[in-house]
């Protein structure tokens, strides 16, 4: 069920405490991230600021009460220059907001924002092969690009990593600007 009451807008360093809290939940209880220690509020604020400085999207989903219901961002896939047009997405939703359409709203908006930032392809690196994340990305036009087995050890088990990919804008139909 989707709620039009949610707003998607650029995150600011003032959102760092709420975003760090959402991430901490996923670090402690989930397999979507292979982090085993949550990111601090200071490190989260720095990550948001770094994205702003580079012109990369970092979005927050706002609940009707103004609180952060989830967040998403796109970062250059790898640091080498040839990867400048490829990005990786990260999306995390507050546990109380899962199943409300927040992830879909975030990813739809992130796809547009990443294309506007100059990225030509987006890669989803899905830790644990999380079925909900695979389904979300597939619903947004991502195609399966590979699976790496046993890439992480968390919560007492080996985890696979699923790769999915989607073109942005004109994709690879023309050289980058």
Per-residue pLDDT tens digits for 52-84: 999 999 999 999 888 999 999 999 999 999 999
Residue 100: what pLDDT? 87
pLDDT band at 1 (very low <50, low <70, confident <90, very high): very low
H-only helix segments in 1-159 = 16-29, 41-54, 102-116, 131-139
- Check residue 6 and give left, alpha or beta (phi > 0: left; psi -120 to 50: alpha): beta
Asked if residue 8 lies in contact with residue 18, where contact means CB atoms within 8 angstroms, the answer is no
Distance in angstroms (rounded) separating the CA atoms of residues 146 and 143: 9
**pLDDT tens for each residue of 106-141:** 999 999 999 999 999 999 999 999 999 999 999 999
pLDDT category, 4, cuts 50, 70, 90?
low
Read off the pTM: 0.94
Give me 52's structure tokens: 């702003």
Report the alpha-carbon distance of residue 150 to residue 148 in Å, rounded.
7
C-alpha 163: how far from its chain's center? Answer: 13
Confidence (pLDDT) at 99: 86
Superfamily of domain 7-167: Gcn5-related N-acetyltransferase (GNAT) (3.40.630.30)
DSSP label of 121: E
The percent of residues above 70 in pLDDT, for the chain, comes to 98
Alpha helix positions (H), 55-126: 102-116
Query: pLDDT tens digits, residue range 14-32?
Result: 999 999 999 999 999 999 9
The candidate with the shortest Cα–Cα distance to 106, out of 40, 61, 173, 50, is 61
DSSP β-bridge partners for residue 92: 71
Q: Are strands 121-127 and 86-93 parallel, antiparallel or unpaired?
A: parallel
């Amino acid at each position: 069920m989707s709620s039009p009451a949610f707003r998607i807008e650029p995150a600011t360093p003032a959102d760092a405490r709420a975003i760090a809290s959402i991430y901490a939940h996923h670090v402690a209880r989930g397999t979507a991230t292979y982090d085993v220690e949550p990111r601090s509020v200071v490190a989260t604020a720095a990550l948001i600021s770094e994205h702003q400085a580079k012109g990369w999207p970092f979005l927050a989903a706002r609940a009707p009460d103004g609180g952060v219901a989830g967040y998403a961002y796109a970062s250059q896939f790898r640091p080498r220059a040839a990867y400048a047009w490829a990005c990786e997405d990260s999306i995390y939703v507050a546990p109380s907001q899962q199943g409300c359409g927040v992830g879909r709203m975030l990813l739809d908006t992130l796809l547009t924002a990443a294309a506007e930032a100059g990225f030509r392809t987006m890669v989803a690196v899905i830790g644990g092969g999380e079925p909900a994340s695979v389904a979300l990305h597939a619903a947004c036009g991502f195609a399966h690009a590979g699976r790496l087995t046993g890439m992480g050890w968390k919560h007492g088990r080996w985890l696979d990593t699923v790769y999915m990919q989607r073109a942005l804008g004109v994709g690879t139909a023309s050289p980058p600007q």
